[in-house]
Structure formats: structure tokens, C-alpha cells
């Protein structure tokens, strides 16, 4: 019996000693993991833009020019994803540019849900290559028209928030219910996006911009179709805000050049407006925004 109690006492003492050792160790590990998470944030946080259907990699040239009149030190890299998944580059990211603009367009830029799903897959190919080449694990996004749909499908199907952080997304004139003006008539695409909404990153802030050339919409996309985005993002992401702009340049094709929207991008998407010591165009101002860094494959 004495031997039995000795074994129990020994076990209790051993467990107590183990606890004394483990608690500080766990605290140390927790502290170091938090420190590692802080260090893990990459220096670069690009703004990646996706144009809509029938638009090329040149779609945002005017927008970038307008932004660069308000800010300094942001270079421009343009990519077109071919149907076989290969990438064609134009422009460069400047040395020391922590927040370049990157435009990703598609060789097959046609409309339609079937094509939009293909474009989301092609964007995932380009995104993985960009993240690997430039070693960033955080970014912000802008999608005009169907570009916002491509972003949404990408986030729901291909994006892994454990590897990369998308903190803010701005969609401009995005037809979440395609050309349908009656929200009661949900398209297959909208239904699919709503069904897959749980895959969206919960720490994301979304700004959905609608244009109103008239009371119904921007002349191409019904405003109710833009508003349908709330069924996808509300109560799923961290913040969802819809903003409506009107007046000059509020038609669908003019929205990326709308001065109100340019100001909203400067306010909500561009995190470091003025980057000192960065010369995105070398010593001269070039219309394509070519930088002084290297283009992948050079």
C-alpha cells in the first residue's frame, strides 16, 4: 500500500514539475509566433487591377495617370494571361517600390459566365506567379465591371487566406446579377457566388462602387445588379460598403476615370500615396509607366 501511494505521489510531483516547465514554454512559443506573424508581412503590398470584358491591359492607363498626378513613386506592370496560362509582361516595377500597380488582363476577354470562370482560373495562375516572383503576401485589389466578378470567383475558389492577405477590395460597376435588373430573378452566377460566400476571407473590407448615369444604372449595368453584391459580401467579410457616384463620367465605361472614384481609390486603396526615393519612370515620364526594375524573364 505504501508503495502504491509513493507511486501516486511521484506522479503528482512529476506532473507539477512538467506544468512548471510547460507554461513558460507555451508563453514563449505564443510570443514568438506573434512576433513571426508581424515579421511575416512582406515589404511589398501591390494594388492589383482587373479590367472588365473586352478590355485589354491598357484599360487603366488613364486611371493610373490620374492617380500618379496625386501621388508619387508608384510604377506600373501590365500582364496579359494567354489562354494556355502563359504570361506576357509590359512595363516594370521600380526598385524600392513597395506599392506598385499591377494590371492583369486576359487574351480571352469575352463576356459570359463560362468565360468569367475561366478568367478567374487564369488570374489565379498569374497571381501565384506574381507572388512568387515579387515575394509579397499581402495586396489590395480593384476590379472594374466583370473584373469584380473575376475577383469574387477567385476569392471563393482559388484564394488561400493562410498564405496571402487581401485587406481591401474595390469593385467598380460590377454586375453581380449580370444584366438582370430584378433581384428576384437571380442568375446562376449570383446563386453560385452566394452559395460559396463562406470561402471569402473574413478579414476583408469591400467597397462596391455603382455609377448612375440615370436612375436605373450606369447605362450598361443596372444599379440593382451592382447592389446584389450585398448578398455575397454582407455579414461574411469584415466590412462591406456600397457607394454610388453620379454626374460627369458616371457611365459604365467612364467609371475608372471618374474623378470621384479616383479620389476614393486614393483614399481607401492606396496605403502609401507618396513613396520617397522611388522613380517609377526612370528620369523621364513615360506613358506606359515603365519602371527601372526588372521584368520577370529578363
Furthest-apart CA pair in the chain: how many Å? 93
Look-up: residue for cell 492577405? 165
Dihedral angle of Cα 261, 290, 51, 151, to the nearest 10 degrees: -90
Q: What pLDDT is stored for residue 6 in this prediction?
A: 61
Q: What pLDDT is stored for residue 248 in this prediction?
A: 80
8 Å CB contact between 280 and 54: no
Cell of 184: 428576384
Cell of 157: 475558389
Rounded to 5 degrees, φ, ψ at 76 are: -135, 125
Q: Cα–chain-centroid distance for residue 76?
A: 16
The strand pairing partners of 170, in sequence order, are 142, 207
Instruction: Give the pTM.
Output: 0.82
Q: What pLDDT is stored for residue 11 in this prediction?
A: 56
Look-up: residue for cell 481591401? 168
d(C-alpha 109, C-alpha 119), whole Å? 8
Indicate the angle between helix axes 113-134 and 146-157, nearest 10 degrees: 70
Look-up: residue for cell 482560373? 121
For residue 11, what are the contacts with CB-CB under 8 A and spacing of at least 6? none
d(C-alpha 298, C-alpha 258), whole Å? 36
Rounded to 5 degrees, φ, ψ at 55 are: -100, 145
For residue 60, what are the contacts with CB-CB under 8 A and spacing of at least 6? 49, 51, 101, 103, 144, 256
Q: What pLDDT is stored for residue 214 in this prediction?
A: 74
To the nearest 5 percent, what fractions of the chain are helix, strand and coil? 40, 20, 40
Indicate the burial class of 114 (C-beta count within 10 angstroms; 0-12, 13-18, 19 or more). exposed
User: What does each of the 298 residues of the chain score in pLDDT, given as a tens digit?
Assistant: 555 556 555 555 555 655 554 544 445 455 444 444 444 789 999 999 999 999 999 999 999 999 999 888 899 999 999 999 999 999 999 999 999 999 999 999 999 999 999 999 999 999 999 999 999 999 999 999 999 999 999 999 999 999 999 999 999 999 999 999 999 999 999 999 999 999 999 999 999 999 987 767 878 999 999 999 999 999 999 999 999 998 888 899 999 999 999 999 999 999 998 898 787 764 333 333 333 333 344 3
Amino acid at each position: 500500500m505504501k508503495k502504491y501511494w509513493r507511486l501516486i505521489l511521484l506522479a503528482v510531483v512529476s506532473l507539477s514539475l512538467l506544468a512548471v516547465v510547460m507554461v513558460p514554454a507555451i508563453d514563449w512559443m505564443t510570443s514568438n509566433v506573434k512576433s513571426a506573424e508581424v515579421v511575416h508581412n512582406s515589404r511589398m503590398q501591390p494594388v492589383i487591377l482587373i479590367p472588365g470584358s473586352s478590355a485589354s491591359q491598357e484599360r487603366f492607363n488613364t486611371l493610373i495617370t490620374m492617380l500618379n498626378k496625386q501621388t508619387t513613386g508608384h510604377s506600373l506592370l501590365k500582364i496579359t494571361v494567354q489562354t494556355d496560362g502563359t504570361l506576357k509582361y509590359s512595363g516594370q516595377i521600380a526598385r524600392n517600390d513597395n506599392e506598385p500597380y499591377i494590371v492583369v488582363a486576359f487574351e480571352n476577354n469575352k463576356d459570359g459566365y463560362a468565360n468569367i470562370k475561366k478568367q478567374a482560373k487564369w488570374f489565379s495562375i498569374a497571381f501565384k506567379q506574381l507572388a512568387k516572383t515579387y515575394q509579397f503576401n499581402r495586396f489590395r485589389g480593384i476590379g472594374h465591371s466583370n473584373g469584380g466578378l473575376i475577383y469574387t470567383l477567385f476569392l471563393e475558389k482559388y484564394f488561400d487566406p493562410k498564405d496571402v492577405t487581401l485587406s481591401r477590395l474595390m469593385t467598380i460597376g460590377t454586375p453581380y446579377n449580370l444584366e438582370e435588373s430584378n433581384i428576384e430573378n437571380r442568375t446562376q452566377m449570383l446563386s453560385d457566388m452566394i452559395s460559396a460566400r463562406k470561402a471569402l476571407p473574413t478579414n476583408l473590407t469591400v467597397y462596391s462602387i455603382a455609377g448612375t448615369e440615370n436612375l436605373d444604372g450606369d447605362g450598361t449595368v443596372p444599379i440593382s445588379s451592382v447592389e446584389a453584391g450585398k448578398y455575397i459580401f454582407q455579414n461574411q467579410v469584415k466590412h462591406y460598403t456600397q457607394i454610388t457616384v453620379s454626374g460627369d463620367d458616371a457611365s459604365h465605361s467612364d467609371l475608372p476615370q471618374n474623378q470621384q472614384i479616383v479620389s476614393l481609390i486614393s483614399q481607401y486603396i492606396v496605403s502609401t500615396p507618396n513613396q520617397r526615393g522611388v522613380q517609377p519612370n526612370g528620369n523621364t515620364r513615360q506613358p506606359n509607366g515603365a519602371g527601372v526594375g526588372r521584368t520577370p524573364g529578363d
